Structure 1
Amino acid sequence: MNNLLEIKGLKKYFPIKSGGFGRTTRFVKAVDDVSFEVKEGETLGIVGESGCGKSTTGRSIIQLIEPSEGTVLFQGKDMTKLKGGELRAMRRDLQIIFQDPYASLNPRMTVGAILEEPLIIHGLGSAAERKQRVLEILNIVGLTPHHYNRYPHEFSGGQRQRIGIARALITRPKLIVADEPVSALDVSIQSQILNLMKELQEQFKLTYIFISHDLSVVRHISDRVGVMYLGRLVELADKHELYSNPQHPYTQALLSAVPHPDPRKTPERIILTGDVPSPANPPSGCAFHTRCSACMDICKTERPQMKKTKDGHAVACHLY
C-alpha cells in the first residue's frame, strides 16, 4: 500500500502570555516533534492519556489548528503551505468526526441542512442532487428519510454520532480523523458505531486516524497503533505486535491496566508513580523518565529518537 499521509516533525506550541503587556513568556508544547505515515486504506490508532496531544495532532493534520512547525504531506502535497481556495479544495478529501455528538451539531439547523452544508461550501451538485445525496448518506449510516427535517435534540447520542459520521462522509473523503468518536456513548452503542465505521471503510475505501484513550476500542478497529506521551510519539507498531510485545515502559503500563475477561490471565498491574508533567514545562531528556522504573542516567539528559527494533515496530527508548 502507498502512503496517503506523511507527517514529519509536527509541532504545535500554544503561547502562554503574562505581564501587563501580554508578552509570551513560555509555551505549552501540546505536540512536540511527531512523525509517522498512514497507508492508504488502513486505520492508524493513536492512544495515550488525556492531555497527551493526540487530539491536537489530529486537528493539526487537517489544518483545523495551524501547526507551529513540521510538514503534513497528503498525497504528496504539503497541507501547511496551502491557503484559501487550495486548502478548501483539499479539505474535501480530509474530514473529522468529533468526540462530542451533542456539541458538534448546530442545534438551530435540521439534519438535512447540516449534511447539505459541506456540499454547498464545496459547490457540489444542484439543490436536487444535494438533497438526493443527503438522503442516500442517511440510509447508509442507518437513519431514514424521516430524519431529514428533524433537529439534533430529537436524537439519541448514538444517532447523533451517526449524523456526525454522515457529515464526514458526505464529500466522499479519502481520510477521516476520528477524534474519540465513541467515548461519549454507552458501551452497547459504541460497538454499533465501531462496526458501522468498519463497514463504511470497506464500502468507501476510507483511511482512518482513530484517536482514543480506550485501548480495547483501538485494538478492535486499528491496523497499527501509535502511543503518545506528553506530546511525543513513544511507540508505533502493528496492533498484534504492540499488544503482544509492548516495548516502551509507558506502553507496558497502559496495557497492564486493560481489564482481561479471564481473571486468571490478568497481567501484573504496573503502577506509575507521580503525576504527568506539565506540557508547559516538560522534563529534559525522555519525557517519561520522571515516572519510569527503568530510568537510567542518559534518560534524564538525552531525548531518545524513534528506532526500529524489528519490522514495523519502532520505539523511542534508551533501553533499545
Structure 2
Amino acid sequence: MALIDVRNLKKTFPIHGGVLGRKVGEVVAVDDVSFSVEPGETLGLVGESGCGKSTTGRTIMRLYEPTAGEVEFAGKKLFQLKAEELRQVRRDLQMVFQDPFASLNPRQKISAILEEPLIVHGLGDAQERKEQVRELLHVVGMNESHAGRYPHQFSGGQRQRIGIARALSTRPKLIIADEPVSALDVSIQSQVLNLMMDLQEQFELTYIFIAHDLSVVKHISDRVGVMYLGRLVELAPRDELYKKPLHPYTEALLSAVPVPDPDAKKERIILSGDVPSPDNPPQGCAFHPRCPHVMDVCRETRPIFDDAGGGHFVACHLHNAKA
C-alpha cells in the first residue's frame, strides 16, 4: 500500500491587473499530476526551472492550498483536514527547503530551531528536548557545541544539515526535499546526498526528492518522474528511465547530462524555441511547440498518461502511435 497517493493535483495562481486589480487570468503551475510513493521509496521529480515540481511539493504539504485534486497520506485525505488535524499529520510529513539560509530563522540559535518542532508537537520535556537536539546534531554529523551558534555562523552544507536535522526531529515517515543540494558546492552535494541515503535506511524514511540535476536524481532515486509545464510527462523506475526514455523531452534532458569521460562522444539534442508561458499553455501536448517529432494530433489532443509496461508511464502520442 502506498504511503502517499497524489491524484489529479492542480494548482493555479491568479493574475490580477487593471485599476481595480481584478483577476485577468491565471498561471497553471501544476496541471493534473498523479503519482504514488511506497514506504521506504525515493521518488525523484525533475524538470526545467518553472515546470511546477517545487509547487507540487509545497501543495502536497498544503503550504499552498490546492486548486483541485486529492492527496492521501497514510490513509488520511490531507486536503480535507482542518488546521489542528493537519498539524498532527505534519509530525509525519516534513520538508527540507532549497535555500538552507532562508529556511532557518537568523535570530534563533540552532538549539531553538531544532527544539521548535518538538515544542509545537508536545514531544518531551525541556531536558528530553535538549537531549534530542544533541542526538539530532550527532546524527547529521555535527558537534553538540554547534547548538549555541546562529545560522550565519555555518557554511551552506552545514546549514542544510541543520535543515535535515529539523525535518528529522519529529521522526517523520515522509520528507519532501525541495532541491536540497542545488545551492551547495559539488563536493558538498555528495556529502549531503550520502547523508540523506544513510538516514533513510536508519530511520526508514520515504523521500520525494525534487531537483533539476538528473545526475543527482539518479544517485538517490528509486523511480523518477519528469515534469514539463506543470504536467508529469514520464514516470519510470530509475534505471529504465535513464536507459530507455520514451518521451522526447526526457531524451533531451538526458542528452544534456555531462559525461565524465572527455573522450566519450554523446549526441546532444537541442530543443528549438522557449518553454511556453504557464499563463497561456498550448493546446494539446504542452511540449509540441518544441518537439522534434511533433504530429498533427499533438497540436489538438492532450496525450493520456499511460502505462507503457513495467510501471513505465508516459504521456506522448508518439508512443501511442507505436503501440
TM over 0.5: yes
Aligned sequence identity (%): 68
Q: Gaps spanning 5+ residues in structure 2: where?
A: none
TM-score (norm 2): 0.98
Partner of 1:69: 68
Matches within 5 A, 1:288-303: 288-303=287-302
Distance in 2 separating the partners of 1:129 and 1:154: 26
Q: Aligned-pair distance for 1:295?
A: 0.3
The one-letter code matched in structure 1 to 2:301 is: E
Partner of 1:133: 132
Partner of 2:161: 162
Change (3 A) 1:274 1:81: same
Q: Aligned-pair distance for 1:22?
A: 1.7
Matches within 5 A, 1:164-203: 164-203=163-202
Partner of 2:53: 54
* CA displacement 1:180-213 (0-9 Å, x = unmatched): 0000000000000000000000000000000000
Q: Secondary structure at the match of 1:235?
A: strand
* CA displacement 1:234-260 (0-9 Å, x = unmatched): 000000000000000000000001111
Taking only aligned residues, the RMSD between alpha carbons, in angstroms, comes to 0.8
Partner of 1:318: 317
- Residue 124 of structure 2 corresponds to residue 118 of structure 1: no
Q: Aligned-pair distance for 1:263?
A: 3.8
Q: Aligned-pair distance for 1:144?
A: 1.1
Distance in 2 separating the partners of 1:121 and 1:174: 18
* CA displacement 1:282-311 (0-9 Å, x = unmatched): 000000000001000000010001111111
Partner of 1:233: 232
Distance in 1 separating the partners of 2:229 and 2:75: 29
Partner of 2:29: 30
Change (3 A) 1:135 1:60: same
Distance in 1 separating the partners of 2:108 and 2:261: 47
Partner of 1:147: 146
Question: Which one is further off, 129-138 or 255-264?
Answer: 255-264
Q: Is the 8 A contact 1:5 1:37 kept in 2?
A: yes
Partner of 1:104: 103
Q: Aligned-pair distance for 1:262?
A: 2.4
Partner of 2:304: 305
Partner of 2:209: 210
Q: Aligned-pair distance for 1:20?
A: 2.1
Q: Gaps spanning 5+ residues in structure 1: where?
A: none
Matches within 5 A, 1:234-273: 234-273=233-272
Q: Is the 8 A contact 1:259 1:266 kept in 2?
A: no
Q: Aligned-pair distance for 1:23?
A: 1.4
The one-letter code matched in structure 2 to 1:114 is: I
Q: Where do 4+ consecutive residues of structure 1 move more than 4 Å?
A: none
TM-score (norm 1): 0.99
